[in-house]
């Protein structure tokens, strides 16, 4: 077994991996950017090293810096978590070349699954059913038109070959829409993956997203841990996941389990991975394989009792899996809600900021995986997911009731999160009937009704004069040391983290209509570049009308009017940079 693991990630997944290491008796090394000096994963690890400025391209994505820290700290393995370098075959290969074990599959498996067309070709040859369509890229719109006429038919999905997770995915219901879909998918593929090539799939009108968790070791064992349903998504971001999938019975489970095992075996997989697919009318089609531990692995941990992260670490160390397929027993029902710093009522606009009070739910069957605490800053620079709330109970109905109870217990002040959205969705008839809720997450009026109450102003710090013990972290040559200073409280500055909150926390107000302040200015929630301006000065808008699209971190964020009225001022233009808080439009009520 390894003696020291470097975690090349941040946030909740870094903490999750550190916990697994602690249980296995393995020392941990964190890396962090300048923005993450006070982050949970940094405090939690045995050692921590600064690797650069906030932007991931200058820190969490810099392979050489991470390998330098691995060598300097004497780590014998690197865990990539998810995102960042997790599915970068070059990183896996660089680790191998440096004599450091990459905790994940061989670089060749990452590469084989990285190209979606190559993966489709490989899978169909391995007997894995794929969505009907091409296994090669289609060079031009005219070529696409011909292939569609000959084989695929309409409606058609145009997908980026370098894609995945729904990025670079466009639909053409008819031939009229093909050119725009082709160009959209190609442009997005170029932007996200540096690959403008696309392929075609038949577009399935109302599938469920069902994925299978697999584990593999270097001794020839490949097993599956059942499936998860992740159909509740918004712009291809999963919001709620559950296991078992409501539409999967034991017979179908065995069938898709075998499909997933065949897919993993075909690329000599090692560790934890997920085979994603679409389920429609009892037919299952391979979509792609995620060659890493996923955000939603926790629901499977709850229903199987198997620690997926520890199994991945053991497999990377050359140990056999701790369970055989026959020993996998699925029990009860688990649900996960992603608690993102986003405003569902405003088109899921990012809502970065500083957390005030923070209190996680607990009690029977409740698990929270998070990387934040009181006073944590949620930067617009990174993923907006602040926590995952996972519950388990005997069946779906009871698990839903437990989730609603836990969501109500979750206290996060001064930050807008998806908690009210989850409360509304899990209370809906569509969820109770196990529908995909696709129309709800697109329904602007319904989403608006989930509006969180206006964030209260930060409480004034009025602590009595006394000696306090303060923990500080000092940084010497990029290395962190913890020091404790006991003395009078610091003169000014932010309120001490949650210290001595005398007032009983007010119960979070329930979703209540409006919430937005009465101001005329529509402020940008984030820093980015204006991609599109959707209104003209002088125009009349409704609350929720699209005003502009701002690109930040390669994501397109739709900014909508915060109230009805007339656009009095529109100080933005396509291509311009905006900072968080900048005025995008001034909207006055009435004419
Ligand atoms: C599809 C599809 C329909 N037909 N592919 C791809 C990435 C994943 N996030 C969802 N993806 C889809 N791929 C074909 N050929 C529909 C979706 C899809 C979806 C599927 C199941 C449940 C919810 C969904 C929400 C958006 C898109």
- Ligand 1 centre to CA of 462 (Å) is 52
- Give residue ranges with CB within 6 A of ligand 1: 131, 157, 165-166, 169, 201-204, 207-209, 231, 233, 236, 278, 287, 436
pLDDT band at 512; cut points 50, 70, 90: very low
Task: Give the DSSP per-residue string, 193-214.
Answer: HS---EEEEEPPSS-EEEEEEE
Q: How confident is the model at residue 502 (pLDDT cuts 50, 70, 90)?
A: very low
pLDDT-derived band of residue 490, with 50, 70 and 90 as boundaries?
Answer: low
Band (520; pLDDT cuts 50, 70, 90): very high
pLDDT tens digits along 267-294 = 999 999 999 999 999 999 999 999 999 9
In whole angstroms, give the CA distance from residue 428 to residue 446.
11
**Using N-to-C axis directions, what is the helix angle for 396-409 and 419-426, rounded to 10°?**
150
Could you tell which of 116, 134, 157, 189 is best to mutate to test the pocket of ligand 1, judged by most ligand atoms within 8 Å of the CB?
157
Ligand 1 center to 157 CA (angstroms): 9
pLDDT of 458 reads 55
Task: Give 195-250 pLDDT, tens digit per residue.
Answer: 999 999 999 999 999 999 999 999 999 999 999 999 999 999 999 999 999 999 99
Q: CA dihedral defined by 510, 511, 517, 522, rounded to 10 degrees?
A: 140
pLDDT tens figures, 418-465 = 999 999 999 999 999 999 998 899 898 999 998 866 555 555 554 444
Question: Bigger pLDDT: 488 or 256?
Answer: 256
Residue 350 C-alpha to ligand 1 middle, in angstroms?
23
Spell out the alpha helix ranges (H) of 270-327.
Answer: 297-304, 308-316
Atom nearest to 231 CA in ligand 1: 22
- Pairwise CA distance, residues 265 & 77, whole Å: 24
pLDDT of 251 reads 98
Residue bearing the CA closest to ligand 1, atom 9: 236
The pLDDT > 90 percentage for the chain reads 81
Helix, strand or coil, per DSSP, at residue 149: helix
Report pLDDT for 53. 97
Q: What would the two tokens of residue 325 be?
A: 């397929």
How far does residue 162's CA lie from ligand 1's centre (Å)? Answer: 16
Residue 10, Cβ neighbours under 10 Å: how many?
27
Query: Measured between alpha carbons, how far is 304 from 325 in angstroms, rounded to an integer?
Result: 11
Q: Where does residue 442 rank: exposed (0-12), middle (13-18), buried (19+ CB within 10 A)?
A: exposed
């Amino acid at each position: 077994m390894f003696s020291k693991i470097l975690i090349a990630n941040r946030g909740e997944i870094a903490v999750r991996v550190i916990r697994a290491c602690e249980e296995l008796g393995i020392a941990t090394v964190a890396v962090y950017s300048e923005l993450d000096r006070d982050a949970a994963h940094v405090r939690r690890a045995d050692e921590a090293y600064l690797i650069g400025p906030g932007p991931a391209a200058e820190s969490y994505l810099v392979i050489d810096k991470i390998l330098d820290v691995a060598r300097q700290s004497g780590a014998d393995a690197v865990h990539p978590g998810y995102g960042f370098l997790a599915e970068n075959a070059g990183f896996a290969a660089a680790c191998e070349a440096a004599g450091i074990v990459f905790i994940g599959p061989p670089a060749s498996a990452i590469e084989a699954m990285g190209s979606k067309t190559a993966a489709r070709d490989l899978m169909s040859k391995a007997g894995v059913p794929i969505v009907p369509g091409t296994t090669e890229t289609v060079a031009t719109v005219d070529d696409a038109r011909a292939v569609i006429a000959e084989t695929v038919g309409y409606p058609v999905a145009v997908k980026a070959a370098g894609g995945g997770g729904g990025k670079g995915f466009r639909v053409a219901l008819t031939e009229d829409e093909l050119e725009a879909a082709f160009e959209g998918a190609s442009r997005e593929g170029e932007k996200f993956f540096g690959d403008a090539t696309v392929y075609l799939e038949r577009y399935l009108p109302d599938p469920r997203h069902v994925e299978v968790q697999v584990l593999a070791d270097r001794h020839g064992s490949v097993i599956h841990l059942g499936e998860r349903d992740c159909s509740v998504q918004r712009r291809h971001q999963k919001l709620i996941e559950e296991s078992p999938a409501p539409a999967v019975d034991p017979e179908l489970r065995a069938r898709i389990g075998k499909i997933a095992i065949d897919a993993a075996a075909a690329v000599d997989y090692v560790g934890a991975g997920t085979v994603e697919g679409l389920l429609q009318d009892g037919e299952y089609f391979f979509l792609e394989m995620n060659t890493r531990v996923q955000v939603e692995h926790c629901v499977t941990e709850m229903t199987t009792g198997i620690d997926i992260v520890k199994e991945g670490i053991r497999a990377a160390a050359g140990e056999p899996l701790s369970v055989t397929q026959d020993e996998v027993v699925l029990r009860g029902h688990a649900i996960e809600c992603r608690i993102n710093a986003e405003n569902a009522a405003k088109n899921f606009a990012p809502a970065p900021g500083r957390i005030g009070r923070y209190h996680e739910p607990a009690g029977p069957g409740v698990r929270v995986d998070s990387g934040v605490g009181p006073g944590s800053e949620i930067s617009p620079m990174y993923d907006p997911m602040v926590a995952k709330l996972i519950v388990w109970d005997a069946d779906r109905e009871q698990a839903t009731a437990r989730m609603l109870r836990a969501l109500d217990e979750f206290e996060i002040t001064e930050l807008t999160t998806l908690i009210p959205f989850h409360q509304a969705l899990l209370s809906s008839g569509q969820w109770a009937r196990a529908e995909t809720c696709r129309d709800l997450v697109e329904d602007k009026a319904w989403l608006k009704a989930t509006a969180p109450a206006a964030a209260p102003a930060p409480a004034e710090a009025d602590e009595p004069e006394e000696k306090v013990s303060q923990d500080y972290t000092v940084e010497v040559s990029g290395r962190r040391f913890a020091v404790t200073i006991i003395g009078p409280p610091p003169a000014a500055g932010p309120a001490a983290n949650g210290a001595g909150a005398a007032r009983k926390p007010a119960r979070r107000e329930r979703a209540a209509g409006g919430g937005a302040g009465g101001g005329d200015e529509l402020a940008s929630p984030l820093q980015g570049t204006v991609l599109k301006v959707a209104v003209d000065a002088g125009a009349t808008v409704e609350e929720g009308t699209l005003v502009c699209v701002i690109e930040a971190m390669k994501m397109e964020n739709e900014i909508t009017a915060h109230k009805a009225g007339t656009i009095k001022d529109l100080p933005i233009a396509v291509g311009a940079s905006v900072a968080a808080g900048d005025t995008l439009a001034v909207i006055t009520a009435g004419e």
